[in-house]
Chain A
């Protein structure tokens, strides 16, 4: 199959450690942000989202932090597991009210060391 993410930055993490994936956005009008996970050969999968009226949101083993001042978003994965190996993308709505107009940012490949 076709490979994607060949030239993406890579984060290598020891199994069991916490992972932190960062994302910068440029559109100050964006008020809704999403993190996606994309495994090889598959479509992206929704992980967690956050609205701009929040600084932090937690899910199961994942936490998203939003710093609107510096337009920065991060995804924290606790106790990283082999199944977490994937490319992770942040996405934003650009301030558009239409829920369909979700724009993806650059991705990061997460690699797990045994």
Chain B
């Protein structure tokens, strides 16, 4: 299993540009999430999904869209990039059993917005 994969690893955008960060998992997990991590900070939840076709907002959803058309993929779209969106973005997938919940994280995408 490849686990959780994210592309690209690095990206530089200009203010106002749009792009999609890709996330895929091959573990057949129901749940997927997107987080951002700024320097010196913890991870903040952007959007999450509890299954194909179902998504919801996290702590910091503004400026981002998601969709979940398949179990495997959960892309994150930046609509109009702003310097405040410079961050490291992590995707996670997880399963839940007996009230326990183990998340597996991808390697991250390092995004710089100029």
Which A residues contact B (CB, under 8 angstroms)? 1-8, 32, 34, 42-46, 49, 51, 89, 93, 98-107
Contact = CB atoms under 8 A, between A and B. Distances in A.
Interface string B27-53: 000111101011111111100111000
Given A43-B105, A44-B105, A45-B105, A100 B48 contact: yes
Contact of B32 (A5, A34, A100, A107): A100
Contacts of A104: 35, 42-45
A107 B48 CA distance: 22
Given A4-B88, A43-B90, A101-B48, A51 B33 contact: no
A24 B44 CA distance: 17
A89 B94 contact: no
* Listed residue (B48, B100, B103, B110) with the most chain A CB atoms within 10 angstroms of its CB: B103
B101 A102 contact: yes
Contacts of B108: 42-43
Contact of B88 (A2, A89, A93): A2
Contacts of A44: 43, 90, 103, 105
B7 to A, nearest CB: 14
Contacts, number: 85
Contacts of A3: 39
B106 A43 contact: yes
A51 B48 contact: no
A45 B30 CA distance: 19
Given A43-B106, A46-B102, A46-B103, A98 B56 contact: yes
A1 B107 CA distance: 12
B42 A105 contact: yes
Given A34-B103, A100-B50, 18 more contacts: A2-B39, A2-B88, A2-B110, A3-B39, A32-B99, A32-B101, A44-B43, A44-B103, A51-B100, A89-B43, A98-B48, A98-B50, A99-B30, A99-B31, A99-B94, A101-B58, A104-B43, A104-B44
